[in-house]
Structure 1
Amino acid sequence: MWKTVVRRILVMIPQLFVLSLIIFFLAQKMPGDPFSGLITPETDPSRIEELREQAGLNDPLPMQYVNWIKDVAQGDFGKSYTYKRSVSSLIGERAYNTFLLSLFSVILVYALAIPLGVIAGRYKDTFVDKTVVLYSFISYAIPTFVLSLIFLYVFGYQLSWFPTSGTVDVGIEEGTLSYYWNRIHHMLLPAITYAVLGTTGIIQYLRSEVIDAQTQDYVKTARSKGVPMRKVYTRHIFRNSLLPIAAFLGFTITGLLGGSIFIETIFGYPGMGQLFVNSVLTRDYSVITTLVMLFGFLTLLGSLLSDIIMSIVDPRIRID
């Protein structure tokens, strides 16, 4: 298996190279540049041109790409024109915020989806099953930005149960118990929103697997031996039904750094998703190219991790 893993990693190199070409030249074709927003009736055009020359924006595109690749190979992702700081430190700070929010959200998703999926499958066609299916259909049909705005308006502004932006209140000392609770309080509303929207696929997959597993021979054999139904579900049906969920686990792990553009932007949460939107609006090329490259790498890595996890969970599966 490890030879296959190494081979897959080596294949990722040309894939990332092609992705870098596409990202870089598409970013350069965006209208305007990072200094376009500085132009006012009082601005000296020569100063703007000087800034573009210093940033290398007047060089031929192939030369700009080569210089960019050289810097990236050395761990230098450039400087953000908007935030006036290195891209590495900026993304590192936002990645930490996004990771905490995503991890909290994923925990809520699985804590909600797994029991609902198992219960719906076990009690098929009952009132409980129909209620769970109705919930999953409604959550699937509601767009992310619509539910986010509803929750923000109701629970943030009307009821004032949760903060409406940021990661922590001003003036709270870092490292204290109140600081950590305040961070969790800021993450609760966007995490709950993400969890409500993210349970649909898991519930449907798990429900279908539980229903199918009830007709399998190993379940009939266990029941014929007098094994209690509770143990049949916990030791046989539930464990085998989790295999499709494990297939998505690799993407879930790598997706912890991807963030959600809609949720982070609407809830004013300073994470990777919000940073990407702001960078596009301000034509911050260094941040845009680095983020998209990072998202592409995480997607490829997630595919590899999913295959590895599946081969570990189910010994019958081997990645070739």
Structure 2
Amino acid sequence: MWKTVLKRFLLMIPQLVILSLLVFILAKLMPGDPFSGQITPTTDPKQIEALRIKYGFYDPWYQQYWRWITNIFHGDFGTSYTFKLPVSTLLAQRVGNTFWLSLLCVTFLYALALPLGIFSGRYSGGKFDKAVTFYNFVTYAIPGFIFYLIMILVFGYTLHWFPASGSVDAGVTGFAYVISRLRHMLLPAICYAMIATTGTVQYLRNEIIDAKASDYVRTARSKGVPIDKVYTHHIFRNSLLPIAAFFGFTLTGLISGSVFMETIFGYPGMGKLFIEAIQSRDYSVLTTLIMIFGFMTLVGSLLSDIIMSIVDPRIRIE
């Protein structure tokens, strides 16, 4: 198994090289440059031109690419043209926020989706199942950003139960700091969990309904195995396989894909930084973030395979 894991990591190298080429070329094809936004009626064009020459914007593209990729291997992601800070410093400030928010989102997601899917599948056709089906229909139909804005309006500005933006209150320390961080993460995490349960609930519900009609379930019931034990030891475990297959993508996808959630909630994470980099044409930040997001996607694929081999003994990565 571990040999295959190593091979998969080695296979990531050419994939990341291809990704880096695409990212670099597409970034260069964007209109303008990082210094275009600094031009005002009083700006001396010679100063802007000097900056472009200083940062090598007129060098051949392959020289720029080689310089960029070499610096990355040395841990130098460049300097943000907008924030005037090393990109590594910016990432260090934001990655913790995104990680803890993503972890809380995944926790709430499965805490809500698993019970809904299990009981909906077990009592399919009943009132609870119909209520869950209606809930899935509503959450699937409503756009996420609309739902986020409504929740901010209701619970942030009207009821004042949760902060409407930010990641922590100013000037708090100690245990109050931890509570403040948690309060700022609760609303976006709850909102994400409510919207993102649809796929997990439907997968689990359908798997349980199919498993109830399986031969091994009928055999267990004919031997007098209690119905609760049939569900916990047979149906539930086999029905978790599709959920386990997507767990790695769910976790890493949240870390790399929380762009809209962080932007709408004003949460200073990597997703919000990504939007800010696009708006300001901050190439150093933009290219670094896309490379990180691409790497996380590849890691998610590998993580899902490993989880599948652990959950189902019949599946082994050979």
Query: What TM-score comes out, normalization by structure 2 length?
Result: 0.97
RMSD value over aligned CA atoms?
Answer: 1.2
Cα distance in 2 for partners of 1:74, 1:52 equals 23
After superposition, where does 1:63-102 map in structure 2 within 5 Å?
63-102=63-102
Give the structure 1 partner of residue 231 of structure 2: 233
- 2:121 matches 1:111: no
Paired AA for residue 272 in structure 1: M
Could you list the runs of 5+ residues in structure 2 that have no partner in the other structure? none
* CA deviation profile, 1:25-50 (whole Å, cap 9, x unmatched): 11011111111111111111111111
Matched-pair contact (CA < 8 Å) for 1:91–1:272: yes
Q: CA deviation at 1:139?
A: 0.7
Could you list the runs of 5+ residues in structure 1 that have no partner in the other structure? none
Matched-pair contact (CA < 8 Å) for 1:106–1:195: yes
Matched-pair contact (CA < 8 Å) for 1:8–1:304: yes
Give the structure 2 partner of residue 319 of structure 1: 317
After superposition, where does 1:52-63 map in structure 2 within 5 Å?
52-63=52-63
Cα distance in 2 for partners of 1:222, 1:11 equals 44
After superposition, where does 1:1-320 map in structure 2 within 5 Å?
1-173=1-173, 176-319=174-317
Q: CA deviation at 1:308?
A: 1.6
Matched-pair contact (CA < 8 Å) for 1:259–1:271: no
Cα distance in 2 for partners of 1:233, 1:89 equals 50
Cα distance in 2 for partners of 1:185, 1:3 equals 43
* CA deviation profile, 1:44-99 (whole Å, cap 9, x unmatched): 11111111122222212111101001101111111111111111121122111001
* CA deviation profile, 1:284-320 (whole Å, cap 9, x unmatched): 0011111111111111111111112112211222335
Cα distance in 1 for partners of 2:235, 2:209 equals 9
SS at match of 1:59: coil
Query: What TM-score comes out, normalization by structure 1 length?
Result: 0.96
Q: CA deviation at 1:3?
A: 2.5
Q: CA deviation at 1:116?
A: 0.2
Paired AA for residue 261 in structure 1: V
* CA deviation profile, 1:236-282 (whole Å, cap 9, x unmatched): 11111111110011112323421411111111000111110110000
Cα distance in 2 for partners of 1:8, 1:99 equals 24
